[in-house]
Amino acid sequence: MLRIIARLDIKNGKVIKGIQLEGQRQIGDPIEIARKYYEDGIDEILIMDSVASLYGRSNLFHLVAEACKTVFVPITIGGGIRSLEDVKDALSFGADKVAINTALVHDIDLLKVLVTTYGSQCIVGSIEAKKTGNGWQAYIDNGREPTGKDVIEWAKTLEQNGVGELLVTSVDKEGMQKGFDLPLYEALDKAVSIPIIASGGAGRVSHLKDLEQKTELQGIAIAAILHYAKCTVQEVKNELQRTTTRRKYVHAGDT
């Protein structure tokens, strides 16, 4: 199954869209946008705090709680998740999964604690990838700071230490709307067995079809193609072979 995921990057309480994780064209209210995509048939919502690195902590918990009132698909929150307490807060406010990048780069042992405490199913390893020579290097801080880690090897390490899935953003392709970094996702597809979500590059439906046909990835996160009304969620699903009808869902934090 191929999940179609709407990516909402948040700054100052608004959905924004940049290019290569930079820039800040304002799109609109995140609750309204999330609700629209949910009503259109999106499989999941990914909410990323684009300025969390400035504050050292996510400011999205209350936004997620509000979204959960009307959006009944899995919601992943990312950006500024740095500790066991942050994960506890995110899940208690209604997030179903947390995407973590910087904290795992700095302390892989944190991953083991999180997996032991909450299980692999809600821990997403987030990787920001940039092309370097014959491979790709992992970055943090919205693609600004190199880690020195090879993306493929880092993905293997995250899998070995228990993440449930990977969110891999191609910084080079993000916001360009010219297609995905197919060699990157083909290499990752061969290297790990856990689910991979591709993010960065979709400008038209044919870009998603190319990725679907050339990999066995289980998720595609899209933003500009929806934000700029280039197509609808249903039009995307109609063109792809491995998508499916959404099932009724209850959030982890709901009672």
Catalogue the active-site residues: 9, 128
CB 17 within 8 A of CB 175: yes
Give the SS3 label for residue 142.
Answer: coil
Give the closest residue to 125 by CA, choosing from 176, 87, 159.
159
The structure tokens listed for 225 are 């193609």
CA distance 148 to 92: 34
DSSP β-ladder status, 135-140 and 123-132: antiparallel
Tokens representing 26 are 């304002």
Residue 215 amino acid letter: T
Query: Two tokens at 193?
Result: 């067995």
- What are phi and psi for residue 31, nearest 5 degrees? -65, -45
Q: In Å, how far are 2, 16, 141 from 23, measured between CA atoms?
A: 29, 8, 14
- What is 59-98 written as a DSSP string? --HHHHHHHTTT--S-EEEESS--SHHHHHHHHHTT-SEE
CB atoms closer than 10 angstroms to residue 204 = 15
Q: Which residue type, as a one-letter code, is found at position 200?
A: G
The identity of residue 43, as a single letter, is D
